[in-house]
């Protein structure tokens, strides 16, 4: 049985922040140490990020809430005091309240886009919903919102993958694959949503500074099914998914709930840990196609590497011997959107599908895609997918 991703669609909040503007906002905060100011400049300037999207409108310097005097119809300041530009520190509850308010619109936009691009599937075909998020909580949650607001049957089965971090799209896709293996008629809507900017904090802590320079907001949805796609429709077959824990790094990447938002631990050692252990994590996966890390760069043309940050991409590229073209989709997503945690790898897969639609593969051609993401643990999740047009199913 061939189980495929029929479509991927993405959604981002309308507010865009330019990386230099965010850097300058943090540099202007009172009480920062000289070392912290140097770290802010270094982290932002080396991030390889131009823009990020956020649900926190007052992070944009053009926001009405940042103006003095503030217009009567401007939203209340959430993170930035318009009087003096001070970054505020709301407690966890109002941050989570903003998550509850903002998530429905993003997940519905992504879900509707994925269904519209799925090659003939609609809300009436969806049998299961799988959601993933780690940047907020509410119950009934995003999975319930999708069933309610898309008008899905009350009998739609639901699963939420919570608090797994940047790699959560892979467990979500794995769950969808298992559902379809058990029920060949199933159509699973997978949606990842993260509002990382809600947990911004102005701090001298190096981990917090790095987090403030890379994380952003976004949602992505995928439609997974074993039902045959229309002839010519591009799909991504879910061939193999693997998980691995590195022997070190448990304390170097973590995500905990604090009194003033969720607190990210992202130590400077993470890129080196990934570099040292990525080959051992991927070799069992690559063996599925008779390859290994020494040959993968030459045998697998398309890659979707989660951009935990520029240095993570650099280390993966060096460790696997990938060329700039193979890394381009990951670097492009990082540059335009930053790190949106679990949604990010789906943004890259959406970009690969768009590129394939504009060119190769042609009818009857097949390409292997290797995707991976990293998160707390330190966990490496990876997958092999086949990018193909549906009219070559008979040759599969």
Instruction: Give the catalytic positions in this structure.
Output: 166
CB 315 within 8 A of CB 334: no
Check whether the bond before 323 is cis (ω within 30° of 0).
Answer: no
3-state SS class at 193: strand
Both tokens of 258, joined, read 């604090």
**DSSP secondary structure code for residue 87 in this structure:** B
CA dihedral over 166, 167, 172, 173, signed as positive or negative: positive
How many CB atoms are closer than 10 A to CB 155? 7
Both tokens of 69, joined, read 């005097």
Angle at alpha carbon of residue 15, lines to 161 and 166, rounded to 5°: 25
DSSP run (H or E) holding 89: none
Q: Write the CB contacts of 38 (distance below 8 Å, at least 6 apart in sequence).
A: none
Q: Compute the distance between CA of residue 274 and CA of residue 379 in angstroms, rounded to an integer.
A: 9
CB 381 within 8 A of CB 242: yes
Q: Compute the distance between CA of residue 7 and CA of residue 118 in angstroms, rounded to an integer.
A: 5
Q: Compute the distance between CA of residue 119 and CA of residue 141 in angstroms, rounded to an integer.
A: 28
Q: What is the greatest pairwise CA distance in the chain? A: 67
Backbone angles phi, psi at 134, to 5 degrees: -135, 10
């Amino acid at each position: 049985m061939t189980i495929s991703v029929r479509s991927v669609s993405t959604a981002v909040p309308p507010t865009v922040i330019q990386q230099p503007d965010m850097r300058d906002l943090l540099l202007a905060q009172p009480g920062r140490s000289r070392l912290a100011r140097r770290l802010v400049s270094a982290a932002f300037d080396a991030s390889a990020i131009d823009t990020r999207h956020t649900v926190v409108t007052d992070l944009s310097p053009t926001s009405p809430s940042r103006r003095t005097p503030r217009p009567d119809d401007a939203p209340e300041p959430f993170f930035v005091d318009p009087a003096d530009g001070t970054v505020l520190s709301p407690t966890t509850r109002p941050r989570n309240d903003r998550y509850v308010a903002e998530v429905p619109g993003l997940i519905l936009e992504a879900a509707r886009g994925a269904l519209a691009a799925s090659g003939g599937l609609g809300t009436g075909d969806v049998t299961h919903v799988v959601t993933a998020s780690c940047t907020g909580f509410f119950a009934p949650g995003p999975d319930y919102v999708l069933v309610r607001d898309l008008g899905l049957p009350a009998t739609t089965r639901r699963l939420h993958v919570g608090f797994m971090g940047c790699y959560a799209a892979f467990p979500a896709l794995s769950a969808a694959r298992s559902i379809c293996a058990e029920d060949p008629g199933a159509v699973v809507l997978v949606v990842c949503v993260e509002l990382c900017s809600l947990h911004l904090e102005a701090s001298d802590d190096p981990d917090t500074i790095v987090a403030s320079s890379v994380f952003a907001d976004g949602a992505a949805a995928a439609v997974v099914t074993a039902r045959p796609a229309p002839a010519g429709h591009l799909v991504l077959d879910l061939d193999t998914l693997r998980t691995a824990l590195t022997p070190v790094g448990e304390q170097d990447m973590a995500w905990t709930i604090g009194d003033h938002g969720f607190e990210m631990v992202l130590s400077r050692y993470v890129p080196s840990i990934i570099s040292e252990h990525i080959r051992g994590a991927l070799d069992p996966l690559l063996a599925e196609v008779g390859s290994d890390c020494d040959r993968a760069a030459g045998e697998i043309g398309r890659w979707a590497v989660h951009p935990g940050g520029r240095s993570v991409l650099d280390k993966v590229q060096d460790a696997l011997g990938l060329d700039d073209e193979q890394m381009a989709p990951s670097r492009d997503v990082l540059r335009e959107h930053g790190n949106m945690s679990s949604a990010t790898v789906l943004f890259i897969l959406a970009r690969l599908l768009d590129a394939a639609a504009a060119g190769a593969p042609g009818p009857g051609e097949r390409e292997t895609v290797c995707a991976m993401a990293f998160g707390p643990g330190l966990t490496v999740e990876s997958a092999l997918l086949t990018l193909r047009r549906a009219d070559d199913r008979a040759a599969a």
